[in-house]
Amino acid sequence: MTPPRVRPAPGTIFAIVLGAAVPLAFVGVFFAWPVLAMVGRGFFVDGALDLGGFVEVLARPRTLRLIGLTVGQAALAAVICVLLGLPMAHVLYRLKFRGQRMLRALVILPFVLPTVVVGVAFRTLLRDGGLFGGLGLDGTFTAIMLALVFFNVAVVVRTVGTSWEGLDSRQEEAARVLGAGPARVWFTVTLPRLAPAIVSAASIVFLFCSTAFGVVLVLGGTRFGTIETEIYLLTTQFLDLRGASVLSVTQLVVVVLLLLLAARARGRRTALRRVDAALASRRPRLGDGPAIAVTLVVAVLLALPIVALVLRSLQTSDGWGIGNYLALGTTGSRNALVVTVWVALGNSLTIAVQATLVALVIGLAAALVISRQPRSRGLRRALAGFDGALMLPLGVSAVTVGFGFLITLNQPPFDLRSSPILVPIAQALVALPLVVRTILPVLTGIDGRLRESASVLGAGPGRVLRDVDLAIVARPVLAASGFAFAVALGEFGATSFLSRPDRPTLPVVIFRLIGLPGGDNFGMALAASVVLAAVTVGVIALVERLRVGTMGAF
């Protein structure tokens, strides 16, 4: 039976155009324009286009090696994150047990820890004489991989988990009753339904890893590099804009190719029946053993560097104690800081709330538009392109974006160069893809017939949006807001580029402390990192709690 055709009211089209225009304008002004302007500087020499740099830069053996390394390590990290993240998503989002919410909150912790600090914590464990010094991992590719997985496994756990927790489990049960073994059920029933979320998560991990800058620099020592570290070097050290532009374009091409692949792999959108998570989750069974084992092992591996960090933060010059934490109320040894760590935390929280709001509003509008399934093929293509465009900020060098901000947003109508607005905007840009990617799989999973029947029954488009889309998406929106908040709180690259000295965020302050000699300042940096982590876990745990019972009560 074909569903009755409902002619869209002019208002709906207006809403869709507006819903698409706002995110596009946002990404256009605060991302595309600065990046294009910066890349353009490299290609226009004295007003004339010069593409000779392409051949020259791409022919350097070093460039080719770096491209290979970048793609290789990001792809490998994405695969490992999915392999480890899936069992964890199952345990943390499908089963019911005590302490589950806390564990969900803890998984996200590495995400907000400053890379420099984690890098130092990691190296403390791995160096000769460290706890794991015997493994000889210091400065190796394995060390980089461990760190990339450490930082990114949360993306898979949370993106796939939130998509999984509302999946109706009756299909699996029906298959089991009909005699299918667990493996068969997993591969033929569960996996296909999770595929879009898995591909989404994997592509985000790939993007994060291919632009991972601090991790590679600190843990790879000087033997490894990525396109990103090279762009940084060429721009900030050599002012070789041509070389940097060539690499930026190369990076962009790699990213776009990947996004196209991902879109293809995500494939046809299937309608998913969603139920309240309370119905979908159950007590652990014997068959969950392997998944629980993986979860425990990964949890321990995630905890190790963090425990190392906490332990070291409790060491002061007089032995064990909370001296480093008491020092957070001061401006540091020999007045290292302009404001106390607590003031910086306040700045961070305020800015992260603003960034989360911006990312949510824009991300939700974008996701609602992308989730429409127009009959026209061209429109569908356009939406897919729009979808991909929103992911791009993750795949472009923060240095390129940062310098781009400087040379574009410096004259009317956007003279924002020294404006405090830029920090939350930059953080929102980073969080935006995560928001869209968390909400979208759920939205596209909504059976179109649900909307159509609502319309047939007399509900106007506004009412359909409220009672169907927004109601179902309420839970992922909260998850996304927690995620966005965590990202904003820990964001360093763009923030350090734009933040004003009188209003530093916590990561900026930590970075400054770790850049000064003396055990006291270093101890303070560690204590401040622990505080940053604790606050994040607290906020995420709160979000997890708020989610209870929001279903249908939006």
Contact predicate 373/380, CB 8 Å: yes
Residue 48: burial class (beta carbons within 10 Å; 0-12, 13-18, 19+): exposed
Q: Shortest approach of other proteins to residue 151 CB, angstroms?
A: 17
**Closest CB to other proteins among 198 and 364?**
364
Q: Shortest approach of other proteins to residue 235 CB, angstroms?
A: 7
Q: Shortest approach of other proteins to residue 121 CB, angstroms?
A: 9
CA distance to 60, 94, 178, 184, 229, per residue, from 181 (Å): 53, 19, 9, 5, 48
**Closest CB to other proteins among 210 and 229?**
229
Alpha-carbon torsion (484, 487, 489, 494), positive or negative: negative
**Closest CB to other proteins among 43 and 164?**
43
Q: Shortest approach of other proteins to residue 221 CB, angstroms?
A: 6
The residue whose two tokens read 């033997």 is 223
**Closest CB to other proteins among 136 and 515?**
515
**Closest CB to other proteins among 365 and 367?**
365
In the chain, the largest separation of any two C-alpha atoms, in whole Å, equals 78
Q: Shortest approach of other proteins to residue 328 CB, angstroms?
A: 18
Q: Shortest approach of other proteins to residue 521 CB, angstroms?
A: 7
**Closest CB to other proteins among 129 and 378?**
129
Residue 346 has φ and ψ, to the nearest 5°, of: -60, -45
* Beta-strand relationship, 315-316 and 319-320: antiparallel
Helices (H), 108-166: 109-112, 115-126, 141-164
Contact predicate 515/332, CB 8 Å: no
Q: Shortest approach of other proteins to residue 10 CB, angstroms?
A: 8
Residue 361 has φ and ψ, to the nearest 5°, of: -60, -50
Q: Shortest approach of other proteins to residue 29 CB, angstroms?
A: 11
CB neighbours of 339 closer than 8 A, spacing ≥ 6? 331, 347, 502, 504, 509
**Closest CB to other proteins among 30 and 164?**
30
Distance, CA of 305 to CA of 530 (rounded, Å): 12
Contact predicate 438/480, CB 8 Å: yes
Contact predicate 525/117, CB 8 Å: yes
3-state secondary structure of 446: coil
Q: Shortest approach of other proteins to residue 457 CB, angstroms?
A: 15
Q: Shortest approach of other proteins to residue 446 CB, angstroms?
A: 19
Contact predicate 250/241, CB 8 Å: no
3-state secondary structure of 316: strand
Distance, CA of 507 to CA of 511 (rounded, Å): 6
H-helix or E-strand containing 355?
helix 341-370
**Closest CB to other proteins among 489 and 514?**
514
The residue whose two tokens read 């005590």 is 98
**Closest CB to other proteins among 29 and 256?**
29
Distance, CA of 275 to CA of 430 (rounded, Å): 31
**Closest CB to other proteins among 61 and 549?**
61
Q: Shortest approach of other proteins to residue 310 CB, angstroms?
A: 16
Closest among 356, 366, 547, 554 to 443, alpha carbons compared: 366
From the DSSP assignment, how many helices (H) and strands (E) are in the chain?
A: 27, 4
Contact predicate 328/341, CB 8 Å: yes
The residue whose two tokens read 């356009």 is 382
Give ∠ CA 147-253-362 in degrees, rounded to 5.
75
**Closest CB to other proteins among 159 and 248?**
248
**Closest CB to other proteins among 448 and 518?**
518
Q: Shortest approach of other proteins to residue 171 CB, angstroms?
A: 35
The residue whose two tokens read 């360093």 is 492
CA distance to 139, 153, 235, per residue, from 218 (Å): 8, 19, 19
Q: Shortest approach of other proteins to residue 107 CB, angstroms?
A: 26
**Closest CB to other proteins among 373 and 410?**
410
